[in-house]
Amino acid sequence: MASWFRRQRPRVEAPTLTPRDTAAGALRVDLAELAPAPDSFLGQCAALHLVFIEQLTAAMANAPRVADKDALARVAGVVFERYRGFTAELERLQLDKTDVMTPHLDSVEEFKRRTQGGEWHEQVASAHVAIGFLTDFWIRLAAGLPGELRGRVTAALTGGDIDGPMHRILERAIAANPTLASRLALWCRRLVGDTMLQARSALVLHGDRSKDEAQIEPVFTELIAEHTRRMDRLGLTA
């Protein structure tokens, strides 16, 4: 297991990474130096968003309540809009969707298979954890895209609200059945490993292990901190 799995390690200041202001004003380290070229970035990101749509639609189909079906359909709609944003960039760059997405299909399919929940609450938790973590990740990775593309991709990645509605679905479900909390906490802990592996697969490493880790470490520390806050808000131990 790579060292960035040890989330207890204290936050490292990485001088080679550019901190930048975010909407929330928080300091975010980014992954600019490890970002793939636009074709690979957009291809993997688009393929992954199709998997998110599948996850959300499966959860929608199995939702016992109409209100949850409706909320999950709307979240899938937001993901679809983001997907449409990435494919619009592919068209702008005159890149062929098939060429750029095909190399990533096996990897995202495997990710989907490994994070597929057995029942409804797990399916919702999977989508919440995976979309939350990976969106945070791809926003940081977008720092490595050239100029205007970076801005438009970041806008696509942050368009609409996903975290809020997903949180409310789970919050209500846990309140209605408090015994869910410990089961979902375990499930989410399992998920985060596969989710991090999916994220890491997008990075273009230099091959110099210590240099790579020095760049990756602070970002994943921060991503795990955000994941932990996401779990905390639900009263789940991350």
Interface residues with a second copy (CB under 8 A) are: 50, 53-54, 57-58, 60-61, 65-67, 69-70, 73-74, 76-77, 80-81, 83-84, 87, 97-98, 101-102, 105
Distance between CA atoms of residues 67 and 88, nearest Å: 32
Considering the complex, state which of residue 18 and residue 116 has its C-beta at the smaller distance from a second copy: 116
Query: Given the complex with a second copy, which of 84 and 233 has the nearer CB atom?
Result: 84
| CB-facing half-sphere around the CA of 178: CA atoms within 13 A | 1
Residue that the structure tokens 């939702």 belong to: 63
Nearest approach in angstroms of CB 77 to a second copy is 5
Minimum distance, C-beta of residue 113 to a second copy, in the bound complex (Å): 11
Structure tokens at 87: 């494919």
**Minimum CB separation from a second copy for residue 84, in Å?**
7
Q: Which is nearer to a second copy, 104 or 140 (CB)?
A: 104
Q: Is 10 helix (H, G, I), strand (E, B) or coil?
A: coil
Q: How far apart are CA 203 and CA 211, in angstroms?
A: 13
In the bound state with a second copy, the residue whose beta carbon lies nearer, of 90 and 231, is 90
With a CB cutoff of 8 Å and minimum separation 6, the contacts of 91 are none
Smallest separation (angstroms) from a second copy to the CB of 52: 11
Closest separation in Å from C-beta 76 to a second copy: 7
Return the number of other C-beta atoms located less than 10 Å from residue 227's C-beta.
Answer: 22
Closest CA to 131 of 238, 43, 24, 56: 56
* Residue (79 or 180) nearer to a second copy, CB: 79
Tell me the closest approach of the beta carbon of residue 180 to a second copy, in angstroms. 21
225 with 161: CB under 8 angstroms?
no
What lies within 8 Å, CB to CB, of 57 at 6+ separation is 72, 73, 76
Residue number, 198 or 221, with CB nearest to a second copy: 198
